[in-house]
Chains A and B, each alone.
Chain A
Amino acid sequence: MRLTRAVTALVVLSASLAASSPQKRAPDVTLQTADGQPMRLADFKGKVVLVDFWASWCVPCKTSFPALDSLYREYHARGVDVLAVNLDERRRDADAFLAERPHALTVLFDPKGASAQAFGVEGMPSSFLIDRDGVIRFTHMGYSGNIDASYRQQLTQLISEDQQR
């Protein structure tokens, strides 16, 4: 009887713990900079980070990339970093895409897609908003112009949360 109670209590406790922490910690992936240097996502801890997975062949990425770049220009001064992770298998495809689109955001490369696997990317493009503690707070899949308003609202929320501490 005692054992049954203990097991029940354990089950209830673990269920409530699972329910109270639905947010997932961002995986510590290592990506490549344009000149081939490794860069860890953990290096950005303490900043609000928007990680976007894109590829040159992805049609909506052609619209989302410049939109994210303008978000970066707007929010960088307030402590937001935008990392555009390219998943093209051939680097020259990515370079051709980037050459046509002037940008200020940080472009990183992962031709093998290990980081996309770690994040559990289910469609292209996919973006993840990570707070200063390294927790994934919001995700978006696909892109249409009306996501911009959500991005702004969510980024503002993450920035203001950090200022309250």
Chain B
Amino acid sequence: MTSVSLRLLVLGSAIGAAIVVGGCATVQPWQRGRLADRCMIFDADSSQVAYMAHWQEAREGAAGGYGVQSGGCGCK
């Protein structure tokens, strides 16, 4: 790789990273309406997910570590 193309790659990555980081924002509890929407749930069947989680926990001897979808109350 020539030094010019290397520089372009670094510059391109920096610009790309700046754009991506610029999209980060702190979502306040009262702004979580869209996140709390049903369509944001990854799993269609909660009882099946609970069953899967149960056998995974039993097999691996560890629990938790999954993403959480909720209304922002911090209680679910």
- Listed in ascending order, the chain A residues whose CB lies under 8 Å from chain B are 53, 55-61, 87-89, 93, 113, 116-117, 121-126, 141-144
Pick the interface stretch among B4-12, B32-40, B46-54.
B32-40
Of the residues B28, B29, B30, B76, contact of A59 by C-beta under 8 Å: B76
Q: What's the dominant secondary structure at chain B's contact region?
A: loop
- Listed in ascending order, the chain B residues whose CB lies under 8 Å from chain A are 28-33, 36-37, 70-76
Of the residues A60, A113, A143, contact of B30 by C-beta under 8 Å: A113
Of the residues B30, B31, B73, contact of A142 by C-beta under 8 Å: B73
B26 to chain A, nearest CB (A): 12
- Assess the A59–B31 pair: CB atoms within 8 A: no
Return chain B residues, CB-CB under 8 Å to A53.
30
Give Cα distance in the complex from A98 to B75, angstroms: 23
In the A-B complex, the 5 residue pairs with the closest CB atoms: A87-B30, A58-B71, A57-B36, A113-B30, A59-B71
Q: A57 with B37: in contact, given A87-B30, A121-B29 (CB under 8 Å)?
A: yes
Give Cα distance in the complex from A142 to B33, angstroms: 16
- Assess the B28–A113 pair: CB atoms within 8 A: yes
